[in-house]
Amino acid sequence: MTFSGSRPIPWIALAAAVVVIATPLGVDAQFPRGLLADRPAARAPGGASCSIDTRPLSFGNFDPEANANLDAVGQVIYSCSNQAHQIRIEMTTGLANQFNPRRMTATPVDHLEYNVYLDATRQTIWGQGLYGTDVYYVNNPPNGTAVVVPVFGRIFARQDEPGPGQYADLLTVRVLF
């Protein structure tokens, strides 16, 4: 696909990959490996348990010459027992090892800057509560009921000519209870 009299537009898509973890507060967890991992419900010593699952962000095609950001919505879904009095859901930096901006890569030199947010206005970066980020936090989550938390993503407009390809990042989502 080309613009009239212009250079070709690369086809770019995000194949978002997310690892999910349920961890009782104060208990170290070994992070699972792979692109999408489900873990059985983790149990805290007091009997509380939580499970977590995700529906990753899928941005579709990115046009580097467009003047608009490319937005997508994913989901984090959690369920906890009534002994879980507080939960905190964190998200890691991804492969670029930074929160703002996060980076998806296709090759060692090609990347797209993006971020993941807690709010639809895309102002509050979802992270670990450090370096200008915030976490999803709730007191007394509903007992045994799946709760869907939207995840708002944005690829920033007018990035310098990324090459065509499948761009991806690997974020870890963890629920602490």
Given a cut of 90, whether residue 101 has pLDDT beyond it is yes
Rounded average pLDDT over 78-95: 90
CA atoms of 38 and 27, how far apart (whole Å): 18
Could you tell me the two tokens for 45? 């010593």
pLDDT per residue as tens digits for the range 106-162: 888 889 999 999 999 999 999 999 999 999 999 999 999 999 999 999 999 988 878
**Does the model's pTM come out above 0.85?**
no
Rounded average pLDDT over 57-86: 90
Could you tell me the two tokens for 43? 């149990």
Phi then psi for residue 76, to 5 deg, are: -115, 130
Q: Tell me the pLDDT band of 82, cut-offs 50, 70 and 90.
A: confident
Q: Which domains does the chain have, with CATH numbers?
A: 12-176 (2.60.40.1090)
CA atoms of 101 and 112, how far apart (whole Å): 9
pLDDT per residue as tens digits for the range 57-68: 989 888 888 899
User: Per residue in 49-88, is it b (16+ CB within 10 Å) or e — as a string?
Assistant: bbbbbbbbbebeebbbeeeeebebebebebbbbeebeebb
Q: State the number of CA atoms in the 13 A half-sphere of 155 facing the CB.
A: 29
CA atoms of 98 and 14, how far apart (whole Å): 18
Cα-to-chain-centroid distance, residue 34:
15
Given a cut of 60, whether residue 93 has pLDDT beyond it is yes
pLDDT at 44: 52
pLDDT per residue as tens digits for the range 6-63: 222 223 333 344 444 443 333 333 222 222 333 444 455 567 789 999 998 989 888 8
pLDDT at 173: 92
Please list, in sequence order, all residues whose beta carbon lies within 8 angstroms of the beta carbon of residue 110, skipping any fewer than 6 positions away.
162, 163, 165, 167
pLDDT at 37: 34
